[in-house]
């Protein structure tokens, strides 16, 4: 999964401090909006456009044709409005920890977004004023488990058969932490009575017995050809027989099940168990990230995780067949059209974490309709999205063997050649980083003491290094592609972990509650081993691998070459004072989320831990503007301009995550409105 770490609550005192910080930031932002830069010019002759789906297109391209904000005037961006839902963990015990990873939609003249407490808000896109809100009243607010509450977005659909103005002719769909799929009237927020049971379909049917935190959706469904298609997060490092990763399609009008794809190998018998209510196979690859679609071709593209458990494949019995892959399904039937695997017998939790991105360029792959898939390993695969065939050669290269005797290892793994891997593949004791000779020596000894022979070094009982980290590399934030310029931009985290398999007899004496981040313990029940995992870090908590620890990379898709690369983030808000002030270089920080690009050659990105929202020159990588957010913007931003006389807005969710400060602020930026005297 995208995150696997035991979590600490924040104190009430800390919550009060955070609230004061938000007020200060908003006060300063409001003051800044009242004092426009006299050199900033705003034009009203460019295109307009909304943001109707998670990645702006069904293929998640994250590029907008808007031009009002450009390289020259971006320095004048100010906070236009903010919205606070109140839905974040504040240490009071009201709910488990949260992470605000949502990308809002703007469609139907409204802005829609969901919160970690699974409420949905509709706002006026120009002012941020609340129009309606819906509360599903989560049943499991105090659930256990290692994951924060997350809702990455909602989906929108219009019923072409409904009478104009009819109730629920326009709908919002989304899944909740209660494993429910809801249909809401997009104009009023009321549940659609004709969908399932009073607007709700239960997603646990056929899953079998499992605590609520072990199975639930976190990403928006894909709505295509009147089908609502959804997967779910699975706690896939807890036990061998984890809930199955089934993908299901529901009729957008009635909520009736249209089809279900059980990700088992061809000819595999799932063996339903009526006694437990399990219909779908257990332990299969799960689909927790964003599903994309091609409405013209009637295909949906499913990024799969690895089967359960994450770090041991010796008992999977062939379930790796669709693991860590992209799978193309017919939207009407759920039939597999093709699949492409990026990790064979994945025992590293590498998953396929990001949305398969659809694009087409004359000089890329001969102009074929293309699919771009990034991975946690820093690999970028370019495929023909109709057939799954590579647009450029993929090489099967020998990889390290060994590990534990019960393990099943693949002798080779696939490596793309165009573009070449973006993540550093080497790590030796000589690479050990440290702010001082003390922590550098500590890191050198850690690297020397643990086996590392590349990104596919198999875990063993002595200790092995895995880099990239299980969170990437690249992750759910996806990429942005400017088809006119032929540029793809991606955010990466650069960190490593130490994996150590623990024999079952020894593991049964341990308790996961005794392990505090950055130390992690997962039982992997039913397997002969549990696993201990920790960040490869110095005694001061800094990663042992050399910086940058977060980066942005721009790739020329025609040549496959890197156009530019820069660190993303600073040590501010990550390291204690005065460390971040003394070490002010471009160290980068672990980054969660993605970016967006515009026709004016701008790339907007939050993602970093230092609370800055940035605008980057897409051609050169130069930072043109930045602004402090009330909390880190660990999400993927979006942009819109709805009226020819109106402004272009750029919106990002600033709510950080449980390893920093948790918050709930949606922040909208725009240029000063000359007509209103802003």
Q: Which residues are catalytic?
A: 349
Helix (H, G, I), strand (E, B) or coil at 502: strand
Query: How far is the C-alpha of 287 from the C-alpha of 109, rounded, in Å?
Result: 31
Query: How far is the C-alpha of 16 from the C-alpha of 627, rounded, in Å?
Result: 23
Q: Which residues contact 424 (CB under 8 A, 6 or more apart)?
A: 378, 467, 494, 545
- The residue with tokens 């026709």 is 599
Q: Which residues contact 317 (CB under 8 A, 6 or more apart)?
A: none
Query: How far is the C-alpha of 519 from the C-alpha of 505, rounded, in Å?
Result: 20
Tokens of 46: 């460019």
Query: How far is the C-alpha of 164 from the C-alpha of 181, rounded, in Å?
Result: 25
- The residue with tokens 């573009």 is 419
Query: How far is the C-alpha of 263 from the C-alpha of 652, rounded, in Å?
Result: 34
The answer to whether 172 touches 156, Cβ cutoff 8 Å, is yes
Give the DSSP H or E segment for 20: helix 12-33
The answer to whether 524 touches 482, Cβ cutoff 8 Å, is no
- The residue with tokens 């279900």 is 260
Burial of 404 (0-12, 13-18, 19+ CB in 10 A): middle
**Strand ranges of the sheet holding 479-482, from the earlier edge strand across to the other edge:** 479-482, 487-493, 550-556, 562-567
In DSSP terms, 415 is beta-bridged to: 395
Tokens of 258: 């249209």
Alpha helices by DSSP H, listed for 366-487, are 437-449
Query: How far is the C-alpha of 529 from the C-alpha of 72, rounded, in Å?
Result: 58
SS3 sequence of 176-232: CCCCEEEEEECCCCCECCCCEECCEEECCCCECCCCHHHEECCCCCEEECCEEEECE
With b for 16 or more beta-carbon neighbours within 10 A and e for fewer, the 431-461 pattern comes to: ebbbbeeebeebbbebbeebbbeebbbbbbe
Closest CA to 41 of 14, 75, 8: 75
Query: How far is the C-alpha of 476 from the C-alpha of 423, rounded, in Å?
Result: 16
With b for 16 or more beta-carbon neighbours within 10 A and e for fewer, the 173-204 pattern comes to: bbbbbbbbbbbbbbbebebbeebbeebbbebb
In DSSP terms, 416 is beta-bridged to: 394
In sign, the C-alpha dihedral spanning 232, 238, 240, 242 is negative
Per this entry, what is the length of the chain? 678
Query: How far is the C-alpha of 543 from the C-alpha of 496, rounded, in Å?
Result: 7
Query: How far is the C-alpha of 616 from the C-alpha of 386, rounded, in Å?
Result: 33
Strands 497-503, 550-556: pairing kind: unpaired
């Amino acid at each position: 999964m995208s995150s696997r770490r035991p979590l600490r609550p924040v104190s009430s005192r800390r919550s009060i401090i955070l609230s004061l910080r938000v007020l200060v930031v908003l006060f300063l932002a409001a003051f800044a909006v009242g004092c426009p830069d006299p050199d900033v010019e705003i034009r009203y002759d460019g295109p307009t456009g909304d943001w109707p789906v998670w990645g702006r297109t069904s293929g998640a391209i994250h590029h907008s044709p808007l031009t009002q904000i450009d390289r020259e005037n971006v320095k004048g961006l100010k906070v236009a409005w903010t919205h606070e839902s109140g839905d974040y963990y504040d240490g009071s015990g009201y709910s488990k920890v949260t992470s605000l990873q949502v990308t809002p939609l703007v469609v139907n003249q409204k802005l829609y977004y969901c919160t970690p407490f699974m409420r949905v808000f509709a706002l006026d896109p120009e002012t941020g004023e609340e129009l309606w809100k819906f509360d599903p009243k989560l049943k499991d607010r105090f659930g256990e488990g290692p994951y924060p509450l997350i809702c990455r977005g909602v989906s929108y659909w219009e019923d072409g058969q409904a009478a104009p103005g009819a109730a629920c002719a326009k709908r919002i769909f989304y899944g909740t932490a209660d494993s429910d799929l809801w249909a809401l009237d997009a104009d009023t927020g009321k549940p659609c009575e004709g969908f399932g049971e009073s607007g709700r379909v239960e997603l646990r049917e056929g899953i079998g017995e499992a605590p609520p935190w072990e199975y639930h959706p976190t990403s928006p469904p894909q709505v295509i050809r009147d089908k609502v298609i959804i997967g779910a997060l699975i706690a896939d490092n807890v036990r061998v027989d984890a809930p199955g990763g089934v993908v299901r399609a529901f009729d957008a009008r009635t909520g009736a099940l249209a089809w279900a794809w059980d990700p088992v190998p061809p000819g595999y018998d799932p063996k339903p168990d009526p006694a437990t209510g399990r219909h779908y196979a257990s332990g299969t690859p799960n689909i927790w990230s964003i599903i994309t679609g091609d409405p013209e071709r009637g295909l949906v593209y499913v990024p799969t995780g690895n089967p359960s458990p994450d770090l041991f494949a010796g008992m999977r019995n062939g379930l790796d067949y669709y693991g860590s892959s992209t799978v193309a399904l017919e939207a009407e039937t759920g039939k597999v059209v093709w699949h492409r695997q990026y990790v064979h017998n994945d025992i590293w939790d590498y998953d396929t974490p990001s949305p398969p991105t659809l694009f087409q360029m004359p000089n890329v792959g001969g102009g074929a309709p293309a699919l771009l898939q990034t991975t946690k390993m820093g690999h970028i695969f370019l495929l023909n999205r109709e057939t799954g065939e590579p647009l450029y050669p993929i090489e099967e290269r020998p990889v390290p063997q060994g590990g534990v005797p019960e393990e099943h290892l693949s002798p080779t793994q696939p490596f793309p050649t165009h573009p070449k891997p973006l993540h550093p593949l080497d790590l030796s004791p000589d690479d050990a980083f440290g702010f001082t000779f003390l922590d550098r020596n500590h890191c050198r000894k850690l690297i020397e003491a643990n086996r590392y022979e590349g990104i596919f070094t198999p875990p063993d009982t002595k200790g092995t290094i895995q880099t990239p980290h299980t969170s990437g590399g690249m992750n759910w934030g996806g990429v942005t592609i400017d088809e006119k310029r032929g540029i793809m931009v991606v955010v990466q985290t650069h960190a490593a972990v130490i994996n150590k398999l623990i024999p079952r007899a020894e593991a049964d004496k341990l308790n996961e509650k005794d392990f505090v981040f950055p130390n992690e313990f997962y039982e992997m029940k039913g397997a002969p081993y549990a696993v201990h995992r920790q960040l490869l870090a110095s005694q001061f908590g800094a990663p042992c691998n050399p910086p940058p620890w977060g980066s942005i990379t721009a790739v020329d898709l025609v040549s496959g070459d890197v156009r530019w690369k820069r660190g993303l983030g600073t040590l501010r808000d990550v390291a204690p004072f005065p460390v971040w002030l003394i070490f002010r270089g471009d160290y980068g920080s672990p980054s969660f989320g993605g970016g967006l690009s515009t026709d004016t050659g701008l790339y907007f990105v939050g993602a970093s831990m230092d609370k800055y929202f940035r605008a980057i020159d897409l051609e050169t990588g130069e930072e043109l503007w930045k602004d402090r957010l009330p909390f880190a913007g660990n999400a993927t931003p979006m942009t819109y301009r709805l009226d020819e006389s109106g402004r272009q807005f750029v919106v990002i969710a600033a709510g950080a995550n449980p390893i920093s400060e948790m918050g709930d602020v949606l922040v909208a930026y725009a240029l000063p409105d000359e007509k209103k005297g802003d």
